């Protein structure tokens, strides 16, 4: 089918243009979902052009070019509308775009029944799908912060915690203090509280599947780059919210009030950029106050902390270290 469709010069131009645009979106805009949406649109246009041609030839009085252009126009309208209406969730946006395009492709296959009714019916159904998907964007997030922290199972979490502890103790020298399983008021627990020349750190372990990387998102009418998990910025933010709460609780401890507390997330089994990813999380309950968070592969967590610039002099380090050693309440699993 594609070979016959590509005999049409206009379709060849469309396919070539689509590949160029998809490549630009992928490599320059760093939007995987955008590139996939463009490729899906090109495939849908090629299929509908061939199907529309055959349907028009079998129907008297119908123009193959006219019917093909109608489907192309409807595909463009559905794609743009779905992209704009569901922009808050990249993966849902892509699924909505593809669903609308598939609906119109199916309508083109049924255009043998009626070359006037089926295109319009396909457009109506496709737009209905877009409307439903756009209203679902305000539904509660499927992954709650609590689920993000515990959905991997106790065994996997324990293994990641022990691997992180081993990586820390192996890479850090005697200037650094590593306390594991520090209990906080309210029932929370810090996996690893680390004190060293570079400051005080709350180190948490995570074994998320997927890839952490840059993605283009729209904010206040502008396109900006932000980090997301598999292209989903909100997914990454939801999974980091428990870390934000833990660091905030640790920073409120009286014996850590004089120093800044940073967060480090050791990622196991997750593809991350070669260099550590530095983010700033904002607590909506405390406007104007952010928490610096670094995402780093578990194998490099110790080396990454040791490479940080020194922020505590010898006197400050000795004082903070002494307070942590004497006042940090360690749970059963800590040491």
Could you read off the pLDDT of 26-74 as tens digits, one per residue? Answer: 555 556 677 788 888 888 888 887 887 777 777 766 676 777 788 888 8
Return the structure tokens found at 290: 């952010």
Structure tokens at 219: 């904010």
* Range with the poorest average pLDDT among 25-39, 108-122, 197-211, 293-307: 25-39
Q: How many residues comprise the chain?
A: 335
Residue 14 has pLDDT above 60, yes or no: yes
DSSP for 191-235, please give it. Answer: EEEEEETTEEEEEEEE---SBEEEEEEEETTEEEEEEEETTBHHH
What pLDDT, on a 0 to 100 scale, did the predictor assign at position 7? 46
Q: Look-up: residue for tokens 């360690």?
A: 330
- Label residue 204 by pLDDT band (50, 70, 90): very high
Instruction: Indicate whether this model's pTM tops 0.85.
Output: no
Lowest mean pLDDT: which of 107-121, 238-252, 272-286?
Answer: 272-286
Q: Report how far residue 238's alpha carbon sits from residue 148's, in angstroms, rounded to the nearest whole number.
A: 7
């Amino acid at each position: 089918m594609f070979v016959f469709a590509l005999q049409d010069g206009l379709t060849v131009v469309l396919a070539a243009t689509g590949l160029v645009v998809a490549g630009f979106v992928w490599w320059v805009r760093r939007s995987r979902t955008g590139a996939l949406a463009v490729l899906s649109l090109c495939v849908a246009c090629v299929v509908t052009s061939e199907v529309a041609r055959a349907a028009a030839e079998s129907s008297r009085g119908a123009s193959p070019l006219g019917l093909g252009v109608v489907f192309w126009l409807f595909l463009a309208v559905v794609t743009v509308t779905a992209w704009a209406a569901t922009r808050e969730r990249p993966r849902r946006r892509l699924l909505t775009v593809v669903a609308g395009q598939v609906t119109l492709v199916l309508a083109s296959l049924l255009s043998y029944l009626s070359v006037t009714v089926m295109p319009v019916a396909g457009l109506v159904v496709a737009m209905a799908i877009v409307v439903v998907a756009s209203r679902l964007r305000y539904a509660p997030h499927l992954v709650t912060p609590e689920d993000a922290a515990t959905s991997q199972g106790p065994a996997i979490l324990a293994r990641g915690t022990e691997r992180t502890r081993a990586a820390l103790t192996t890479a850090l020298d005697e200037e650094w203090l590593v306390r594991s399983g520090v209990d906080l008021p309210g029932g929370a627990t810090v996996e690893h509280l680390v004190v060293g020349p570079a400051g005080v750190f709350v180190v948490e372990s995570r074994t998320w599947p997927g890839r952490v990387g840059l993605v283009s998102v729209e904010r206040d009418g502008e396109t900006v780059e932000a980090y997301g998990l598999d292209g989903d910025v909100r997914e990454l933010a939801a999974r980091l919210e428990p870390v934000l709460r833990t660091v905030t609780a640790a920073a409120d401890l009286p014996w850590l009030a004089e120093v800044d507390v940073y967060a480090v997330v050791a990622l196991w089994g997750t593809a991350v950029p070669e260099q550590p990813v530095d983010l700033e999380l904002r607590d909506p309950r405390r406007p104007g106050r952010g928490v610096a968070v670094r995402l780093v592969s578990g194998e490099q967590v110790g080396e990454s902390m040791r490479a940080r610039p020194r922020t505590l002099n010898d006197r400050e380090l000795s004082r903070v270290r002494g307070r942590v050693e004497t006042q940090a309440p360690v749970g059963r699993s800590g040491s």
